[in-house]
Amino acid sequence: MNRTELRFALQLIGFLDAVGDFEDGLVKLRDRRWLVWHPDVMAALFRHDRALRHPPSRTLSPLLGNRSVLWLDGEEHTAYRRTLAPVLRGSRYHDLIGEMVERSLAELPSGDPVSLAGWTRKLTLRIMGRIIFGVDDDELLTAFTRWLDRRLGSRVRTLAHRCFTPGTTRFDPHLDRLLLQRARSAEPPALAACLPPDDLRDQIVSLLFAGHETTASATAWTVYWIDRTPGLAEQLLTDETLLDATITESLRLSPPATLAGNRMSDDGMVITPSIYLAHRRAATYENPHTFDPSRKPPPPGAFFPFGGGVRHCPGKDLALTEIRMIVTALLRHRRIRLNAPRSCTPQLRGAAMAPPPSLAMVATCRR
Ligand code: HEM
């Protein structure tokens, strides 16, 4: 690993900020590996995505497993996506999301600070758990969170694992047994029943992971930007179009996934799309670092918080439904104030970006 790659791996956001002004919209990470964010390159890449391979992430594959949908390719991948698409439609889960949001709101202590990112994460994991297993099981989800936090919490440890024990998994056999038992005993059968039995473990863990961390962080960032924009909270109570624009602008400026999945050409060239840099490109967005929900739609290839091409996120509709419902319920039923730490440095887990746990939310009931 050369120095550029080491900085990229250890100080991702600092590295991205340092190269953001490169006009070409691409930077070489090592021989035959490029980080790209130029909109024309991105649009072309996603157009030709079917012809590319999608190598596993060296950070996530030891956790999610080699059979994860995130790096299956070819017909297997197409079949999987066809199965998942109808099951992940957001409108199917309106009542379920409403019930979970109500429960999590009732648990919010009135007037006492709670970690905003922690609260949204618990809620979105509960939603994903219910969709996958069909039942609530907070104990199992807490064990899952503990396992994930231990594995993804330290970038140095993750990197050491990548360098010194490449190819080995970081599973917890006991947790895997519990997840599989829960999935197989779901009555009535839930999402897990649609997944192929042979790689059930990898797919459950992948969906639990991909389906909650990103949505939790997108929700928390949206609340953060609303809090930072005077008068916006009140306007949003009556203006649904503005709410959608607010969520879109938050996904632009604070994309939960800073990078999309790697793409590889037949001759072994690896391309990593940078969502974070594409969304902050000065040549595309005027005042790119300013939060402005009234922006005009960007050109093709300049906005892709959910990735693109054949790997575009199958949970997009579900995620947007969740963010809309959670933010609306928070604004309608609580008055929200955030206690931002002096430096609101994003927390990185793999390539995912969330507000720091120290960003506290104080909620009081609206009368
Ligand atoms: C705001 C919330 C979310 C964001 C920002 C997000 C973002 C992404 C991104 C950037 C990718 C990679 C796409 C690419 O490489 O081109 C992806 C893939 C994926 N996401 Fe999401 N996601 C979100 C919510 C969800 C939800 C709720 C689910 C539900 C289970 C989900 C499941 C997946 C899966 C299974 C993939 C892999 C798709 C494939 O490789 O074919 N995501 N997501």
- 108 close to ligand 1 (CB < 6 Angstrom): no
C-alpha 298/C-alpha 349 separation (Å) is 28
Residues 68, 61: Cα–Cα separation, whole Å? 8
What pLDDT, on a 0 to 100 scale, did the predictor assign at position 343? 78
C-alpha–C-alpha distance, residues 164 and 282, integer Å: 39
CA of 38 to the centre of ligand 1 (A): 21
Nearest-CA residue for atom 9 of ligand 1: 306
DSSP 70: T
For residue 252, report the distance from its CA to the centre of ligand 1, in Å.
Answer: 15
Kindly report, residue by residue over 300-325, the tens digit of the pLDDT. Answer: 999 999 999 999 999 999 999 999 99
pLDDT at residue number 166: 86
Q: How high is the pLDDT of residue 183?
A: 92
* Ligand 1 contact via 218 beta carbon (within 6 Å): yes
Going by C-beta distance under 8 Å and a sequence separation of 6 or more, which residues neighbour residue 104?
Answer: 119, 122, 123, 126
What is the C-alpha to C-alpha distance for residues 258 and 252, in angstroms, rounded to an integer? 10
Ligand 1 in reach of 215 Cβ (< 6 A): yes
**What pLDDT score does 180 carry?**
95
The distance of Cα 125 from the centroid of its chain, to the nearest Å, equals 12
Per-residue pLDDT tens, the chain, 367 aa: give them. Answer: 899 999 999 999 999 999 999 999 999 999 999 999 999 999 999 999 999 999 999 899 999 999 999 999 999 999 999 999 999 999 999 999 999 999 999 999 999 999 999 999 999 999 999 999 999 999 999 999 999 999 988 888 888 888 888 889 999 999 999 999 999 988 778 888 888 888 999 999 999 999 999 999 999 999 999 999 999 999 999 999 999 999 999 999 999 999 999 999 999 999 999 999 999 999 999 999 999 999 999 999 999 999 999 999 999 999 999 999 999 999 999 999 999 888 789 999 888 899 999 999 999 998 6
Ligand 1 atom closest to the CA of 256, numbered from 1: 5
Residue whose token pair is 């120290």: 358
User: Which of 84, 306, 311 has the most ligand 1 atoms within 8 A of CB, as the residue to mutate?
Assistant: 306
Give per-residue pLDDT as tens, 291-302.
999 999 999 999
Ramachandran angles phi, psi of 229, nearest 5°: -110, 105
* 300 Cα: distance to centroid of ligand 1 (angstroms): 19
Mutate to test the pocket of ligand 1, among 36, 84, 247, 313 (most ligand atoms within 8 A of CB): 313
Residue 289 C-alpha from the chain's centroid: 20
C-alpha 254 – ligand 1 centre gap (Å): 16
Structural domains of the chain, ranges and CATH numbers in brackets: 3-365 (1.10.630.10)
Residue in the block written with tokens 């969520």? 247
What is the sign of the dihedral through the CA atoms of 256, 352, 138 and 226?
negative
What's the CA dihedral at 207, 253, 3, 269 to 10 degrees?
60
Output the CA 319–ligand 1 centroid distance in Å.
9
Q: Give the number of the atom of ligand 1 that is nearest the alpha carbon of residue 308.
A: 16
Q: Whose CA is nearest to atom 8 of ligand 1?
A: 306
What pLDDT, on a 0 to 100 scale, did the predictor assign at position 72? 93
Q: What is the pLDDT of residues 136-153, one digit of tens each?
A: 999 999 999 999 999 988
pLDDT of residue 79: 93
Atom number of ligand 1 nearest to Cα 212: 27
Which candidate, 303, 208, 198, places its Cα nearest to that of 260?
A: 303
**Ligand 1 pocket, 205 CB below 6 A?**
no
Q: How far apart are CA 235 and CA 294, in angstroms?
A: 13
Contact 209, 63 (CB under 8 A): yes
Q: Which of 208, 214, 244 to mutate to test the pocket of ligand 1 (most atoms within 8 A of CB)?
A: 214
CA distance 249 to 233: 15
201 with 180: CB under 8 angstroms?
yes
Instruction: Name residue 212's beta-bridge partners.
Output: none
